[in-house]
């Protein structure tokens, strides 16, 4: 077992943080983060745009609107239409963001009970705040939390995790950008259904064996269980706080 540069073991995910109800003009919103804040010595930072904010940290904000009126060209008679808009940290969306939009749409179309809201639109707006590795997995977790905040019924909780295989054959779960820049043979991202713990999404890039693929599947499944537990605990604390008032 290897100790990474940020002090984690190679099978440990970064510290998690989440919050809900951040956007006043959205029906539901959530922010999900991997990794702690790290500031430069003797310097106080006030703005999210400061480059030091991204050290070891990945954060995504998701806002949800709907169910609401849908255009006739998008209308589906038997279920709601799911629209995903994915924005990068800076600049205009690229092919990567377009791919992420398709992944999130396919993943959550099967999880959301869209049949309860036919001929309506559910819009997911996903914004990367910081990207220090595993942006897609972080985004999927943020969408899950935002759906709950919006009160949109789903079959289960979807949680995602990413795993990297180094050239030496070692697995690193939840890799940072620095670890992704180092030589590696493949990168794997999985999303899991909390009800069955089966993978509902899988993306693998690079060269790997069948054995390595299933090792990544197992380690990402274990990491996703931790994410699901974190989400449940966060929701329980939020409900307890709301019931106090």
pLDDT score recorded for residue 122: 98
pLDDT score recorded for residue 242: 80
pLDDT score recorded for residue 64: 98
Q: How many domains does the chain have?
A: 1
Whether 68 is in a domain gets the answer: yes
pLDDT score recorded for residue 157: 94
Whether 129 is in a domain gets the answer: yes
Whether 98 is in a domain gets the answer: yes
Gap between the Cα atoms of 20 and 59, Å rounded: 13
What is the sign, positive or negative, of the torsion defined by CA atoms of 96, 97, 103, 107? positive
Whether 2 is in a domain gets the answer: no
CATH of the domain at 42: 3.30.230.70
| Owning domain of residue 79 | 16-243
CB atoms within 10 A of CB 8: 19
pLDDT score recorded for residue 107: 97
pLDDT score recorded for residue 241: 79
pLDDT score recorded for residue 3: 75
- Reading the block at residue 167, the tokens are 């050239």
Question: Consecutive 10-residue runs of the chain (245 residues): their mean pLDDT?
Answer: 79 94 96 71 38 69 97 94 96 96 97 96 97 96 96 95 96 95 96 96 97 97 96 87 77
Whether 162 is in a domain gets the answer: yes
Which string of b and e fits 185-194 if b means at least 16 CB within 10 Å? bbbbbbbbbb
């Amino acid at each position: 077992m290897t100790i990474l540069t940020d002090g984690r073991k190679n099978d440990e995910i970064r510290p998690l943080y989440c919050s809900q109800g951040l956007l006043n003009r959205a029906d539901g919103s959530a922010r999900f983060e991997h990794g702690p804040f790290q500031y430069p010595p003797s310097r106080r930072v006030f703005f999210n745009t400061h480059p030091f904010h991204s050290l070891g940290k990945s954060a995504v904000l998701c806002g949800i609107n709907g169910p609401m009126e849908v255009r006739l060209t998008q209308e589906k008679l038997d279920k709601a239409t799911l629209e995903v808009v994915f924005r990068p940290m800076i600049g205009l969306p690229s092919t990567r963001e377009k791919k992420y939009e398709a992944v999130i749409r396919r993943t959550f179309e099967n999880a959301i009970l869209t049949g309860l809201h036919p001929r309506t639109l559910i819009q997911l707006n996903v914004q990367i705040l910081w990207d220090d590795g595993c942006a897609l997995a972080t985004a999927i977790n943020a969408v899950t939390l935002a759906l709950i905040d919006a009160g949109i019924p789903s079959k289960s909780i979807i949680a995602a995790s990413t795993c990297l295989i180094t050239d030496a054959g070692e697995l690193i779960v939840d890799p940072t950008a620095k670890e992704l820049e180092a030589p590696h043979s493949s990168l794997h991202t999985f999303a899991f259904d909390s009800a069955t713990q089966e993978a509902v999404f899988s993306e693998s890039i690079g060269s790997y064996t069948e054995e390595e693929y299933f090792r990544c599947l197992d380690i990402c499944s274990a990491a996703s269980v931790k994410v699901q537990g974190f989400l449940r605990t966060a929701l329980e604390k939020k409900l307890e706080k709301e019931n106090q008032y």
